[in-house]
Amino acid sequence: MSLLTVRDLTVEFPGPRGTVRAVDGLSFALERGRTLGIVGESGSGKSATSLAIMGLHAAARVGGSIELDGTEIVGAGREAVRALRGRRMAMIFQDPMSSLHPNHRVGEQIAETRRLHFGASRRRAREDAVRALADVGVPAPRERARDFPHQFSGGMRQRVMIAMALACEPDLLIADEPTTALDVTVQAQILELIAGVQRDRGLAVVLITHDLGVVARVADDVLVMYAGRSVEKAAVAELFTGPRHPYTRGLLGSLPRLDGPPGAPAPIPGNPPDLLSPPGGCPFHPRCPERIDGCATVRPELTGGAHPAACHLLSAPEEAAP
């Protein structure tokens, strides 16, 4: 059985100008020891997905099913979800300050997790915190445990947040744009750290990012989202060598690259859809260079075995396929 199973997930945010359906019928499964990259641009629903899994969606209406190791999260009571969050799953964010308390020493914050969820004694919890900091590569961990978050550099603060997330010994780690705010040389360090703990502890990781390079470096499988829907799912190598959805192809074609000949990238025309009034049919059809009859009216379903995509071209007659 998969560690995480998401079925037909919907996340809706009611607002004064109407309801935004940020996630619209998303399904996927994730095994222990694997990293799933969820890729999308702003408004694709990738972050709303992660907040729904963590049960951190105060203002949203969540539908469908999210099962963590057989326990249903959608509709579960706050206390039940909080217990899972502290013990079975943890999340790291783009901005570490959003999950660290600014006025508490970092060692105390990590120690509190150990006391709360594992019943460790004060002394034991303190030792655990020092070891947790050492494990994520914080130099002089015993001394640094007594520092406050603002005394750390951006990269070190990210390490502290990872140490805190791992202190609850989760089975599932959700990393939402964990390196987006970092310089590229520091990003390389943090990606290496995440890949290392993933390997050592057999964690399941959901990595949410807009950066296809980051996905190529650390993910095993990829899910591409557009306008709240999953448009393509594949093993990482297949996605990059044989993208099946025109949006995925467009995204890869618009990337500036360090490999291959330099030159003008091929942009995707138009703008991302307005989720208050999303286009009918396939949400990508207004920007799609390959659209055919039916794309504007009929919503394509995700189809196609181990490498599914949601595109009418894939079920159209041979000559229409690219």
Partner 1 sequence: MTALLELDGLTRTFRTRRGTVRAVDGVDLTVRAGETLGLVGESGCGKSTTGRMLVRLLDATSGRIAFGGRDITRLPPRRMRPLRGQLQIIFQDPFSSLNPRRTIGSIIAEPLRVQGVRDPGPRVREMLERVGLGAEHADRYPHEFSGGQAQRAGIARALVTRPRLVVADEPVSALDVSIQAQIVNLLAELQRDLDLAYVFIAHDLAVVRNVCARVAVMYLGRIVEIGDRDTVYGAPAHPYTKALLSAVPLPDPVAERERERIVLRGDPPSPAEPPAGCAFHPRCFKAQDRCRVERPVLAEVAGRQAACHFPEVH
The pair phi, psi for residue 293, each rounded to 5°, is -55, 140
Task: Give the angle subtended at the CA of 178 by the CAs of 175 and 181, to the nearest 5°.
Answer: 160
Residue list 126-145, contact with partner 1 (CB under 8 A): none
Q: For the CB of residue 299, give the shortest distance to partner 1 in the complex, in Å.
A: 21
Q: Which residue in the set 259, 277, 317, 319 belongs to the binding site for partner 1 (CB under 8 A)?
A: 259
Is 211 a binder of partner 1 (CB under 8 A)?
A: yes
Q: In this complex, which beta carbon is closest to partner 1, that of residue 13 or of residue 240?
A: 240
Q: Which two tokens stand for residue 224?
A: 């591409």
Closest Cα partner for 68 from 51, 85, 56?
Answer: 85
Candidates 46, 8, 39; CA nearest to 221 is 39
Among 25, 45, 149, 155, binds partner 1 (CB under 8 A): 155
Residue 210 is a binding residue for partner 1 (CB under 8 A): yes
Smallest CA-to-CA distance from 267 within 243, 285, 287 is with 287
Q: 6 or 156, CB closer to partner 1?
A: 156
Give yes or no for residue 264 binding partner 1 (CB under 8 A).
yes
- Residue 272 within binding range of partner 1, rule CB under 8 A: yes
Tell me if 263 contacts partner 1 by CB under 8 A.
yes
Task: State yes or no: residue 153 binds partner 1 (CB under 8 A).
Answer: yes
> What CA–CA distance (Å, rounded) separates 231 from 215?
16
Tokens of 177: 């744009």
Q: Does 116 bind partner 1 (CB under 8 A)?
A: no
Of the two residues 99 and 189, which places its CB atom closer to partner 1 in the complex?
Answer: 189
DSSP state of 159: H
> 274: which 2 tokens?
């307005």
Asked whether 149 and 160 are in contact (CB, 8 A), the reply is: yes
- The C-alpha atoms of residue 149 and residue 166 are separated, in whole angstroms, by 17
Question: Among the candidate windows 82-90, 109-117, 182-190, 293-301, which touches partner 1 by CB under 8 A?
Answer: 182-190
Is residue 286 at the binding interface for partner 1, with CB under 8 A as the rule?
Answer: no
Least distance from C-beta 179 to partner 1, angstroms? Answer: 9
Instruction: Please report whether residue 150 would count as binding partner 1 according to CB under 8 A.
Output: no
DSSP string, 14-61: EETTEEEEEEEEEEEEE-TT-EEEEE--TTSSHHHHHHHHHT--TT-E
Q: Is 63 in the site for partner 1 (CB under 8 A)?
A: no
Q: Which is nearer to partner 1, 252 or 296 (CB)?
A: 252
Of 61, 119, 63, the C-alpha closest to 86 is 119
Site string for partner 1, 216-255 (x = CB under 8 A): xx------------------xx--xx--------xxx-xx
Nearer to partner 1, 33 or 154 (CB): 154
Q: Which of 116, 140, 266, 321 binds partner 1 (CB under 8 A)?
A: 266
Q: Quick check: helix, strand or coil at residue 4?
A: strand
Inter-residue contact 201 to 194 (CB < 8 Å): no
Using CB under 8 A, pick the residue from 15, 18, 269, 289 that binds partner 1: 269
Q: Which range touches partner 1 (CB under 8 A), out of 4-12, 91-99, 125-133, 179-187?
A: 179-187
CA-only gyration radius of the chain, Å: 21
What the block records as the tokens of 203 is: 């964690």
Q: Does residue 109 contact residue 100 with C-beta atoms inside 8 Å?
A: yes
User: Site map for partner 1, 33-62, x if CB under 8 A?
Assistant: --------xx--------------------
Binding interface with partner 1 (CB under 8 A)? 41-42, 153-156, 183-189, 191-192, 210-217, 236-237, 240-241, 250-252, 254-259, 262-269, 271-272, 287
